[in-house]
Amino acid sequence: MAENIISNVFISHVHEDDEGLGKLKDLVKPKGLHIKDSSIHSGKENNASDPDYIKSQILAPQIDWAGVLVVYVTPTTKSSTWVDWEIEYAHKQGKRIVGVWGHGDNNCDLPDALKNYADAMVGWHGDSIVDAIVGTSNDWENPDGSECATRPIKRYSC
């Protein structure tokens, strides 16, 4: 468990789930982790409309600043092209990628990029989330915190 650690994090999510970001931060704070969040959410909107501009001038710098990309997973996350782009960009930058099952969400489909690149996928449990963010755990959990079934790992020939 962390003790008074500050972590620069970008929380990838769909805007309908903005309310969950505060709950996530509140869940880990008593465990000793203070999240500095660089994600774009309600109250931090912009008027940009060009996808290339949004990616290169808004999202990329925020992800670059963060040490960890956390993906807040709910049923609507799977279909978000923005979430997939953020995950893929973070992976290319060598960032740690952690999936967190949204509070009350049960086994919804994961974004493909998260399945491919996540270092950990954890349930709605403060200790598990903290351990995944700080890098002391690479566990893959179901929403209830139980261990996921074995997942295939992509293999490449040399």
pLDDT tens per residue across span 47-75: 778 889 989 988 999 999 999 999 999 99
Tell me the Ramachandran region of residue 53: left when phi exceeds 0, alpha when psi lies from -120 to 50, beta otherwise.
alpha
Asked whether the predicted pLDDT for residue 139 surpasses 70, the reply is: yes
d(CA 31, CA 126): 7
Strands 96-101 and 68-73 come out as: parallel
% the chain with pLDDT above 70: 87
**Which SS3 state, helix, strand or coil, does residue 28 take?**
helix
Q: How far is CA 43 from CA 19, 22, 39, 109, 116, in A?
A: 12, 13, 11, 28, 31
Where are the strands (E) in the chain, listed by range? 5-12, 33-37, 68-73, 96-101, 120-122
Domains defined for the chain, CATH in brackets: 5-134 (3.40.50.450)
pTM greater than the 0.85 cutoff: yes
Q: How confident is the model at residue 155 (pLDDT cuts 50, 70, 90)?
A: very low
One-letter amino acid at 131 equals: D
Least confident of 36-40, 62-66, 77-81, 110-114: 36-40
CB atoms under 10 Å from CB of 51, counted, come to 12
Output phi, psi for 122, to 5 deg.
-125, 155
